[in-house]
A and B are shown apart, each in its own frame.
Chain A
């Protein structure tokens, strides 16, 4: 089995090496809001494709070789830091995870919508996530004062896994950018916010009761803002089960309505 896959890799590499490299055309959004002379425009760049080239590599080469002041964000180049979210041919995704070979010869790059523009392809996702965290109070609310001597409370393995699953969010902002509601309602907590709510709602260490959570989710800024467009789950680079989270919160809101109380 391993032999076959090694052969396959070798033959793919040979094929890639043999193919005449494409000359990619990038159409990149350029605008610097800090510069009063800057006008929003689309600028074209050409670059020869290399084997296994990602947009991370392509953009860095463009900046090194052609446009020193091109703004975009990168840190980890391995889909962990969540910095390089951008619209690639109209779809929010991570540039470091995107191979140019998956794209046609002409590649359109825009900054993620629904965030504040820093410049060119760089947007301020940090302030948005900070604000969202504050608004949904995304931290464990202790039930009792912390006792460093006491043993940690035990938790079901399944529950721990579910919390971990929600925690896999890297805050890249792709789901926010793909969300039709977040695009029109600035107050909406968006899929990432709902995922965060669900994470702390599930956590048995969190002291917030049904009533507290009901107040957070049962509004158009919370779970009822969502109209089920499903784009968040379709674009999430970490493939989080955002629709399940969403239905879970909806049922919780319904339960809170029937049961009331704390």
Chain B
């Protein structure tokens, strides 16, 4: 009975639109929104990679981390970055969020379709191209979920970094220091940063794959190759991120500190 109701829920009830030619009165605005949504996503993804490398300086010891942080604040790279990233963050959330169905009924339909398509692979036993697995619709739902998580945890993180850079609330002085960052992480923020790390890396790598497909450069590669590239990016940054997090939480000493002669 439930299965039959679900089928009925997904059928079109009104006759399909006819006659009137599609016209886009605000076509130019729509292109702008698309370019900004795609562009802000791409810039944020690249920013996250850069961010990861800077934070990874903790692996070389606290002194290296402090030197880089102070230099970035001294030449005024860090301060505007907070505002730019916050602006892109909000812009991307608003523009990309337009595509998420608003009504619960629509969401249920999209959910049912994606889940059916994902499971259908297991409900075929043989054959050729017909059984090609399709998980991308389902992964899109996880992109929305990870976006919500990033929306909450990311906002908190950006606010915290803003406070750290612009005030002396944390540590001995204005700006980011290894000592206070590590103290915060150890005190429990590690449990917020861990899901944030996974959500960000997932959202960014899948988002870039979709961008490549949407605008064309990905069409020269097979889907399998695209996913391989995505997997390499995802797991590399997850690996590096976990290592950084473990060091920040103080669970292990900076493993590369011997390179800079920086004692634990």
Known: A219-B22, A228-B213. A234 touches B134 (CB 8 A): yes
A113 & B130 in contact (Cβ 8 Å cutoff): no
Residue A76 at the chain B interface, CB threshold 8 Å: no
Contact-residue bracket for chain B: 35 or more
Residue B224 at the chain A interface, CB threshold 8 Å: no
Interface-lining segment among B25-33, B157-165, B228-236: B25-33
In the complex, what distance in Å separates the CA atom of A226 from the CA atom of B107?
16
Known: A102-B125, A215-B24, A250-B215. A224 touches B18 (CB 8 A): no
A184 & B117 in contact (Cβ 8 Å cutoff): no
B11 & A42 in contact (Cβ 8 Å cutoff): no
Within 8 A of A (CB), among B1-22: 1, 3-5, 7-8, 10-22
Distance in angstroms from A173 CB to nearest chain B CB is 11
Task: Tell me which residues across on chain B come within 8 A of A26, comparing CB atoms.
Answer: none
Known: A219-B24, A220-B30. A41 touches B1 (CB 8 A): yes
A186 & B12 in contact (Cβ 8 Å cutoff): yes
Interface-lining segment among B76-84, B108-116, B145-153, B181-189: B108-116
Which residues of B pack against A, CB within 8 Å? 1, 3-5, 7-8, 10-24, 26-28, 30-35, 99, 101, 103, 106-107, 109-110, 113-114, 116-117, 119-120, 123-127, 129-132, 134, 136-137, 140, 210, 213-216, 218-219, 223
In the complex, what distance in Å separates the CA atom of A70 from the CA atom of B14?
24
Distance in angstroms from B108 CB to nearest chain A CB is 10
- Which applies to chain A's interface (DSSP): helix, strand, loop or mixed? mixed
A253 & B119 in contact (Cβ 8 Å cutoff): no
Known: A183-B113, A229-B140, A230-B136. A102 touches B131 (CB 8 A): yes
Contact of A239 among B15, B17, B101, B129 (CB under 8 A): B129
Contact of A247 among B14, B117, B131, B214 (CB under 8 A): B214
